[in-house]
Structure 1
Amino acid sequence: MAKQNLIKKISERRSKKYKPDWVAKGHLNYEFFTFWAAAKSYQIQMPKAIGFPFNYKYENLDAIYDQNNINEHVKKLSHLKFIKRNINFIQRQIDYLILASKKYGGKKDLNSFGSWYKVFQKFLPSFGLVLGLEEALEKKVKNFLSNDDFYKIAFAEETATSYEQKSILRISLLKRNSRQFNKSLKEHLKKFDWMGNKLMTYTPFTKADVISRTCPAGEAKRKLKEMEENRNNLGKGALEVYKKLNKKQLELVSLYRKVLSLRTDRADAVAQAASLTYSLFDSLANELNLKREELMRFSFDEIMEMYKTEKILDSKKRLKYHAVSLNEKIKVFWGNYGEEEKKINKKEIRGVVACKGYARGQVKVIIDIPDLIKVKTGDILVSSYTNPNMVPAMERAVAIITNIGGLTSHAAIVAREMNKPCIIGTKIATQVFKDGDLVEVDANKGVVRKLK
């Protein structure tokens, strides 16, 4: 009977009557290589993990999922054994991707490329699986936690972002251009340069990037102290909640916090893979007389075909695209990102409080990576979503506002680590505000008001 129901659901999903419930869950300039790999992975690998494929869409730089798929996944997670199985699967795939990237990343042959890609495809369902895990566990823990207590436990283990920030502050304590300063700078880049990458696009942090983020020693001492105090306060708040919970409740909270960590870990793993496989991708691009960024405008199959036929496709036509993977078919539209967002005339918007506080400042709207340079110290960063390579701009901002995301989103986790006012899930912030708007961010009530 269960098998018949599954076949019926798949048939309905493939029929023309089926209507996906599209919901944006992320925002990034996806290189086509990674979008195609993810879309195919959701068709082929996802059924192996949970029994059915995921629909997927990319438009206006948003990663858009079918909420019906997520809801179906949540139903499957009614028992803890399925939750644990999914969590273990994601952790294994993260580990395998890093290992494969180390193993094949320094090689220059097609076989190594193919072997690495197989691991990459098996890893990619992790992005979709986390969404269902987050919703399922959030419902479970909210059954016994008050809103205040939920807020206290909804933060991840210390992230790579936090460690990287502390490293820069410690470098700031050293005498500029001294032997120890230069040594520490080199060690920092060796450990954290991958954080500048956007997915598989190789744009690592440079020496100049790190130096630009250093500050006077007195300020560095103050910030390090504030970070430690904030981390301790987060831990104390969580401990207060743990003392009130029974064994079963503690297990659920522990699993939920593990999912919070996995949400950042999976994105970090791709960025690390981009650095570890730099030589492999660079050599493939050179063989085809392409730059690395041009190579990333093609799918794995297209790259392999170009090698076989020696016919090089025109990468210039692929600067922009939007695409949809629905009913196990993928349609790609080249030339633009889809319909442009329409501006909305409102003075006030509301969202979910990710980190409490209050701030006033000028808005800087971030649509894509080149916009990050606009953010100056004291600005309000407004974006659809945030990613690890946006951290330098988040450091300069006094508050962070996003369209997309819940309490497990990158913006929420990093804002709590930075202790900066943050409101997420506004849906329309980038459509309401423009660069230069003076706004008031009341992250105690979840309100952003335009002052002028």
Structure 2
Amino acid sequence: MEKYTLHYRNTHFPFLFVGLVFIKGGYGDFEYVVLQDKDESRGYLSFTGVNQARRFSKIFLNENSCQKILFQQKMLITELRDFSLSNGNFLKDNPQGYWLKIKELCFKIGHLYRYCEQPMQAILEEKVLEAAKNQENLTRALSDEDFAREIVFNQQQLNYLERLHDFGKMEYELHIAMEVIFTSIYEFAASVGSKFGYAFDEILIFKVEEIDKLFLGIMPSSLEINERLKGIAYFPLSEKILTGKKYEYWQKKLEPKIDVPEIRGAIAQKGFARGVVKIHLSIIHVQDLPTGCVLVAGMTNPQMLPYLSKVSAIITDEGGLTCHAAIISRELKVPCIVGTKIVTQVLKDGDLVEVDADNGVVRILERA
């Protein structure tokens, strides 16, 4: 049986956006299964998909290719900011043109944001870990270049380390700039839904080509849309959508009940903490956090930055050496464990946990 690995779990991540970025030339180049429950999306890479991402990561060993990608990402950030400033009456005056612009920008996001994702940086991370000799040295080297030189990083290895930093910073900037796309998709869904007689949630579950056809007066099956609202298993490579019992099969296969006393991940910032769990899954929205809580997330989003100084520790499903959670935890000196793959599935709001980020272990002390 093929193994599947969680890549991301986010809310406020509509299926319409999934369809726009999981295309050929974007995330659709890798074998995924996406589970969608209304606006919550979970993406699982198959064993084949993980290997595809690993082969893809060889591009990071080429300096010229990396500089070209970073330049394209900067141009995309400029385009996203310009789109944000130019919105005005664009949607009201020309909804079809507005949709075409969203499609254009999302294609670029799907192509360029993936270079900032941990599965697609696998070989680069391995090169840096090999140079550091162990995880403890690596954690320190990521925030102290002088230390990296002390432990005999050669110039090529220092270049790899710098590349990781560059793409980590770029991920942060891209994520902030991308907020306009999510708000624009929601505004588009409300406006077009009202015009064509569909509920807001229904438009968000449309396939990309169904929106295209909507402007030609071709409506999708209401029965099929209603089935999708109950849950979708989506296979981007084949563009196949499964609902009903077939969706339930994949949901149980990919997300079996997990009962474990502890959870392990990669150390992003060492330290020790004990606290009550607070889960945050939104890709763009924020929420206030109780002082001293243990933040559990698919991945922290940059919009949460003002609240992160209040937490005693951070644990994430996804992420690598230079993900947002890792960078911020090192700046704030907050214990952090990333890449657990299961933490949002295992823990619930109110659980009492012990975070041993010296050893990359989360222990469950008491259930809520």
TM-score (norm 2): 0.76
Task: Report the CA distance between 1:135 and its aligned residue.
Answer: 0.9
45, 53, 70: which one aligns with 2:29: 53
Asked whether the equivalents of residues 263 and 408 of structure 1 are also in contact (C-alpha less than 8 Å), the reply is no
Task: Report the CA distance between 1:421 and its aligned residue.
Answer: 1.2
89, 99, 102: which one aligns with 2:82: 102
Are positions 1:387 and 2:283 aligned together?
Answer: no
Matches within 5 A, 1:67-216: 67-75=47-55, 78=58, 82=62, 84-85=64-65, 88-89=68-69, 91-93=71-73, 95-96=75-76, 98-99=78-79, 102-103=82-83, 105-106=87-88, 107-108=90-91, 109=94, 110-130=96-116, 131=118, 133-147=120-134, 148-154=136-142
- Give the whole-Å Cα distance in 2 for the aligned partners of 1:317 and 1:246: 56
Asked whether the equivalents of residues 364 and 374 of structure 1 are also in contact (C-alpha less than 8 Å), the reply is no
Asked whether the equivalents of residues 57 and 121 of structure 2 are also in contact (C-alpha less than 8 Å), the reply is no
- Give the whole-Å Cα distance in 1 for the aligned partners of 2:335 and 2:105: 38
Asked whether the equivalents of residues 315 and 343 of structure 2 are also in contact (C-alpha less than 8 Å), the reply is yes
- Give the whole-Å Cα distance in 1 for the aligned partners of 2:35 and 2:54: 25
- The count of residues paired between Structure 1 and Structure 2 equals 346
Task: Report the CA distance between 1:391 and its aligned residue.
Answer: 4.4
**Structure 1: gaps spanning 5 or more residues:** 1-18, 155-233
- Give the whole-Å Cα distance in 2 for the aligned partners of 1:292 and 1:356: 44
**Structure 1 SS opposite 2:159:** helix
Task: Report the CA distance between 1:126 and its aligned residue.
Answer: 2.8
153, 157, 160: which one aligns with 1:252: 160
Matches within 5 A, 1:372-383: 375-383=289-297
Task: Report the CA distance between 1:33 and its aligned residue.
Answer: 0.8
**Structure 2: gaps spanning 5 or more residues:** none
CA 150–320 in structure 1, closer or farther in 2 if over 3 Å, else same? farther
Letter in 2 for 1:24: L
Higher alpha-carbon Rg: 1
Letter in 2 for 1:330: K
Per-residue CA deviations over 1:393-423 (Å, capped at 9, x if unaligned) read: 6444211222333223332223223321112
- Give the whole-Å Cα distance in 1 for the aligned partners of 2:67 and 2:212: 33
- Give the whole-Å Cα distance in 1 for the aligned partners of 2:349 and 2:178: 31
Letter in 2 for 1:450: I
CA 362–267 in structure 1, closer or farther in 2 if over 3 Å, else same? same
- Give the whole-Å Cα distance in 2 for the aligned partners of 1:351 and 1:153: 19
Asked whether the equivalents of residues 97 and 120 of structure 1 are also in contact (C-alpha less than 8 Å), the reply is no
**Structure 1 SS opposite 2:215:** helix
Asked whether the equivalents of residues 404 and 424 of structure 1 are also in contact (C-alpha less than 8 Å), the reply is yes
- Give the whole-Å Cα distance in 1 for the aligned partners of 2:281 and 2:333: 24
- Give the whole-Å Cα distance in 2 for the aligned partners of 1:240 and 1:56: 38
- Give the whole-Å Cα distance in 1 for the aligned partners of 2:131 and 2:123: 14
CA 449–261 in structure 1, closer or farther in 2 if over 3 Å, else same? same
RMSD: 3.8
Asked whether the equivalents of residues 102 and 277 of structure 1 are also in contact (C-alpha less than 8 Å), the reply is no
CA 102–283 in structure 1, closer or farther in 2 if over 3 Å, else same? farther
**Structure 1 SS opposite 2:251:** coil
Asked whether the equivalents of residues 306 and 313 of structure 1 are also in contact (C-alpha less than 8 Å), the reply is no
Structure 2 counterpart of 1:411: 325
Structure 2 counterpart of 1:62: 42
Asked whether the equivalents of residues 59 and 323 of structure 1 are also in contact (C-alpha less than 8 Å), the reply is yes
Are positions 1:350 and 2:330 aligned together?
Answer: no
Are positions 1:26 and 2:14 aligned together?
Answer: no
Letter in 2 for 1:105: N
Letter in 2 for 1:92: Q
**Structure 1 SS opposite 2:82:** helix
Structure 2 counterpart of 1:219: none
346, 360, 364: which one aligns with 1:450: 364
Higher mean C-alpha deviation, range 363-372 or range 250-259: 363-372
Task: Report the CA distance between 1:92 and its aligned residue.
Answer: 0.9
Task: Report the CA distance between 1:352 and its aligned residue.
Answer: 1.9
